[in-house]
Amino acid sequence: MKFVIAGAGAIGAYMGARMARAGLDVTLFARGAHLHAMQEHGVRVKSPDGDFEVRSEVTDNLETLGPVDVVILGVKAYSLPELAPRLRPLLGPDTVVVSTQNGIPWWYFQNHGGEFEGLRLERVDPGGVISSAIEPHRVVGSIVYFSTEIIQPGVIRHIEGNRISLGEPNGTRSDRCRKIAEALIQAGFRCPVTTHIRHEIWVKLLGNVAFNPISALTGATLVQMVRDPEVSTLVRHIMIEAEAVASRLGLELPISIEQRMAGAEKVGEHKTSMLQDLEAGRPLELEAIVGAVVELGERLGLPMTHTRTVYACTKLLAQCRSRRI
């Protein structure tokens, strides 16, 4: 199988490096200083599992690659509207596109069935740019459960975790999911294939929708938010609102709010990805993680008082900060 990692940042470059080290045919798409460093020195990975360096094909020109078997979207959700139309040269008749984005993905209501079939969220897919460029039959969902960061161009620090869940939006166990999972397992990842990808999206989102924006507003770690009496109450209110949205969509989550809180406390002094992005001067994944939940709640006529308040404050923080930069 021929893979392209479209967006070889912290997550994508780490995946690509492990895949290349395992002998898989993988090309990394990147830009700027990070691109040039990987072209000149390869990808260098620093990990608790052992440091390594590997060379793989790295490019900033998708036009030259031709159709491939699998495109793994490694960019943050807010970069997809710009990237998606540029993927056309990579897409043959059977090319699979694997999404790795946090929050509610653009494809969530494709092959969903029922009254919500085909619903498009403006905050995730403005103007339908992504869904127009990537046909529904190509999509395989994934959820990433590892943490990485770029510590300098071409150098990735793997902090913890090695699991990637894969799932078909229609809930089937497909041959293509199995083959992609086998390749990722060969590269050293744990890669279960789930028939309940939407449930898994909401389990992860249940924590992210509350902890991520509150951490950006306060600078607090997970354990600090859980143990603060007033903030933990706010977190629970946001989770209750998110859980109500999931329920209205027909999902009964396999984890309780208290279990999600306990899991976050166990992680300890960990900064959420949104806080890390804020401190590094990067854009925030606010719309896919929080804005999409607010938009869904509004469409469904659900009160989203706490979620909307935190969303509005975090959005203003990001806007004020971008003006200063």
Q: In the structure encoding, which two tokens stand for residue 70, read together?
A: 């699998």
Structure tokens at 49: 């599992």
- Please name the residues in contact with 312: beta carbons below 8 A apart, sequence gap of 6 or more: none
- Packing angle of the helix pair 229-248, 197-218 (nearest 10 deg): 150
The answer to whether the CB of 78 falls within 8 A of the CB of 288 is: yes
Which two tokens mark 34? 């990070």
Distance between CA atoms of residues 137 and 189, nearest Å: 25
Q: Could you give the CA distance from residue 55 to residue 76 in angstroms, rounded to a whole number?
A: 24
CB 20 within 8 A of CB 55: yes
To the query of whether residue 204 is one of the catalytic residues in this protein, the response is yes
The secondary structure of 21-78 as a DSSP string is HTT-EEEEE--HHHHHHHHHH-EEEE-TT--EEE--EEES-GGGT--EEEEEE-S-GG
Distance CA 287, CA 315 (A): 9
Q: If you write DSSP's letter for every residue of 259-305 in order, what string do you get? A: HHHHHHHHH-S---HHHHHHHHTPPP-HIIIIIHHHHHHHHHT---H
Rounded to an integer, what distance in angstroms lies between the CA atom of residue 229 and that of residue 274?
A: 22
Q: Which of 42, 46, 51, 95 is nearest to 73 (CA)?
A: 95
The single residue of 2, 46, 179, 204 carrying the catalytic annotation is 204
What is each CA distance from 188 to 8, 53, 112, 185, 214, in whole angstroms?
A: 18, 15, 32, 5, 34
Active-site positions read: 204
